[in-house]
Amino acid sequence: MAKTSMKKMLEAGVHFGHRSRFWHPKMERYIYGTRNGVHIINLEKTLPMFNDVLNYASKTAAAGGSILFVGTKRAATDIIKEEAIRCGMPYVNHRWLGGMMTNYKTIKASIKRLKDLEFLAEENFTQFGKKEALMMTREMEKLERSLGGIKDLGGIP
């Protein structure tokens, strides 16, 4: 299956963690040290686990399963969206909404609202006034930003 090397991980900057004041004590064994207020992740411990996850993801995708791509940082949003669309997988690239996995019933209602608004937008909101159409357009843009990547998801991935 797919493999990656420590050299590739270093080139990608995987070893840079969060600021040293934002950390969880259970992650201490994976932290190599601190430099300029940023934790340095121990790649010797990370590499085998990363390869295990990579193999699992490859097997899941090959078996026809779905993998949810998540990247909410500004630098990653466009890449996450492009690659998820290229693979035909769901993605979250703006903000992780609470209950997205644990309360899917509520999220499903919001997805239904988004699809209804998209259907109305195809008709250019002709039966509504200017203000109502503007409010619906804004709501649709907000829902599209948060739920656009998972609107075709049938259930929890």
The structure tokens listed for 112 are 């239904």
Q: State the average pLDDT for the chain.
A: 89
Q: How many residues does the chain have?
A: 157
Per-residue confidence (pLDDT) for residue 5, from 0 to 100: 81
Q: Would you call 43 exposed, middle or buried from its count of C-beta atoms within 10 A (0-12, 13-18, 19+)? A: middle
Q: Which of 98, 99, 91, 102 is closest to 144 using CA atoms?
A: 91
Region 138-156: what's the mean pLDDT?
90
Residue 18 pLDDT class (50, 70, 90 cuts): confident
Max Cα-Cα span within the chain: 62
- Three-class SS of residue 97? coil
- Three-class SS of residue 122? helix
Give the domain ranges of the chain.
1-65
The structure tokens listed for 72 are 């909410």
Region 118-130: what's the mean pLDDT?
87
Per-residue confidence (pLDDT) for residue 101, from 0 to 100: 87
Residue 157 pLDDT class (50, 70, 90 cuts): low
Is the per-residue pLDDT at 70 higher than 90? Answer: yes
Per-residue confidence (pLDDT) for residue 78, from 0 to 100: 93
Q: What is the pLDDT of residues 48-61, one digit of tens each?
A: 998 999 999 999 98
Find tokens 């991935």 and name the residue.
Answer: 157
Is the per-residue pLDDT at 45 higher than 60? Answer: yes
Q: How far apart are CA 138 and CA 133, in angstroms?
A: 9
